Amino acid sequence: MIGIMKRWTVFLLLTALIAGAFASWEDFNQFLSLEKLQVRADDPVAEALFWQNLEPDMVRFWPLFLLHREDLRQRLEVEAPLSVTIERKALLSFTVEIKPLLPWLIFRWQERDFYLSREGSIWKKDHPLNTRLAKIQPPSSPPVVLADTFPSPERNLEEGEMVSKSVFPVETLAGWIDSLSATEWFSQMEKLVVTRREGQF
């Protein structure tokens, strides 16, 4: 029994010694750090938001960035009207591309206005970043006014979320709006009022 305890003690001491030496070597060489993280963002506000959400340990240890990059992307896209793409270019190199979402339509529901992008993302018109991100401008098309009998155009949001996917099918909306925009009188319209009967549009 004593012999087994001694062997375990020696094993644990050797393990601790090797782990300590490895940690010291890594701290000196920092070979687990990201080699290159290129951020492509036309808007400085969007880039600043990325760096604010990036945890220092994800830069210091590239395996953490690899494991949590999707969480980072999703967090940015639900907090701000942004499209974020993160691609791995090499073992220790990643490229991040950030673009503001472009408002395509304005939904008006129960006296509240929402921006809708062609990708199907929807967010409130009074989102604080709408006035700070340069490319976010009100669309030229007339607002789509939804009757109160419709549900909210945005999905249920969790705490801290401000952008979601629209509850309405974007493909159907796109076909409808594109058909209307081809008419001569579309540009003269002040608003489009949408109602439904028996559960249908």
Strand 144-146 with 192-194, pairing: parallel
Chain segment 25-84, per-residue pLDDT in tens: 445 444 456 778 899 998 999 999 999 999 988 888 878 888 999 999 999 999 999 999
The DSSP secondary-structure symbol of 166 reads B
Tokens 């939904």 identify what position? 107
Beta bridge partners, 200, equal: 197
Task: Quote the mean pLDDT of the chain.
Answer: 83
Tokens 């087994």 identify what position? 4
Domain segments of the chain as ranges: 27-99, 101-194
- The CATH architecture of the domain made up of 27-99 is Roll (3.10)
Cα dihedral 126, 129, 132, 138, rounded to 10, equals -50
pLDDT at 24 over 70: no
pTM: 0.78
